[in-house]
């Protein structure tokens, strides 16, 4: 079992992901430079947070053209697992591997804070270790994290139960005050139709040990690890 972490120019959460997987969860992990094209040795690839290419044009808009992204499309078509976190989520949407877009927060503020996420679907590769309706405490750090999709796409996501995390209160209530960025339907994380690609704005790698304030991010990693071990 091996994880790969893609690094684009400007990526900044790659080391946090490496620490969570290698030091905390004792998994094999490699860094992948964005110009590499061979992903065959990996079971799960991570697009971490950061500011790929400075995000000067639009978050993730340039990174989607990196050579590794063509390989990533083939990787996902084989059913292998991909998780995009924050800027990684933005890149997955820009590349078309996930629907919708991430827009500027409705409060026009960079938000770096703890959030609570209600788990909406535990029948996925990424949430199988969660309890039904479990609320996870995981932080965010972004300026462009407001999830947007047209009405038809939103209806499809809801009908297919592909919205797997929503911003909530600690008790699991889906409210407007609990939404830190104005995301439609309080969406914090979605998966693709096949169920093997997850995009989420909160950072599970930053909730990996008690010293950080939460270990809830490990539940997502452990769900992935459990799936890979069984397949």
Cα–Cα distance, 25 to 34 (Å, whole number)? 25
Q: Please confirm, yes or no, whether 203 is among the known catalytic residues.
A: yes
Report the DSSP pairing between strands 81-85 and 197-200. parallel
Active-site pick, 86, 93, 130, 208: 86
Q: Please confirm, yes or no, whether 86 is among the known catalytic residues.
A: yes
Q: Please confirm, yes or no, whether 17 is among the known catalytic residues.
A: no
Burial classification of residue 222, based on how many CB atoms lie within 10 Å of its CB (0-12 exposed, 13-18 middle, 19 or more buried): middle
Q: Under 8 Å CB-to-CB from 195, ≥6 apart: which residues?
A: 124, 125, 162
Active-site pick, 94, 120, 144, 205: 205
Q: How far is CA 101 from the centre of its chain?
A: 13
Q: What distances in angstroms separate CA 6 from CA 35, 63, 101, 107, one per listed residue?
A: 9, 11, 20, 30
Active-site pick, 142, 144, 203, 208: 203
Residue closest to 193 by CA, chosen among 96, 61, 62: 96
Tokens of 146: 């407001």
Q: Under 8 Å CB-to-CB from 177, ≥6 apart: which residues?
A: 169
User: Which residues are known to be catalytic?
Assistant: 86, 203, 205
């Amino acid at each position: 079992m091996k994880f790969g972490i893609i690094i684009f120019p400007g990526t900044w959460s790659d080391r946090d992901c490496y620490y969570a997987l290698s030091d905390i969860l004792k998994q094999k992990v490699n860094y992948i430079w964005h110009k590499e094209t061979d992903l065959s040795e990996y079971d799960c690839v991570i697009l971490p947070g950061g500011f790929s290419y400075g995000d000067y044009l639009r978050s993730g808009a340039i990174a989607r053209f990196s050579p590794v992204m063509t390989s990533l499309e083939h990787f996902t078509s084989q059913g292998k697992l991909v998780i995009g976190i924050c800027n990684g989520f933005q890149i997955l949407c820009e590349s078309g591997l996930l629907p919708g877009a991430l827009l500027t927060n409705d409060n026009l503020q960079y938000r770096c804070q703890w959030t609570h996420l209600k788990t909406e679907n535990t029948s996925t590769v990424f949430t199988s270790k969660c309890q039904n309706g479990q609320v996870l405490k995981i932080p965010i750090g972004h300026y462009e994290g407001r999830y947007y999709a047209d009405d038809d796409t939103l209806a499809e996501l809801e009908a297919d139960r592909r919205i797997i995390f929503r911003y909530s209160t600690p008790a699991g209530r889906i409210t407007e005050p609990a939404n830190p960025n104005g995301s439609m339907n309080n969406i914090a994380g979605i998966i693709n139709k096949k169920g093997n690609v997850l995009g989420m704005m909160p950072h599970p790698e930053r909730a990996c040990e008690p010293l950080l304030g939460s270990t809830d991010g490990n539940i997502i990693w452990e769900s992935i690890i459990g799936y890979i071990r069984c397949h």
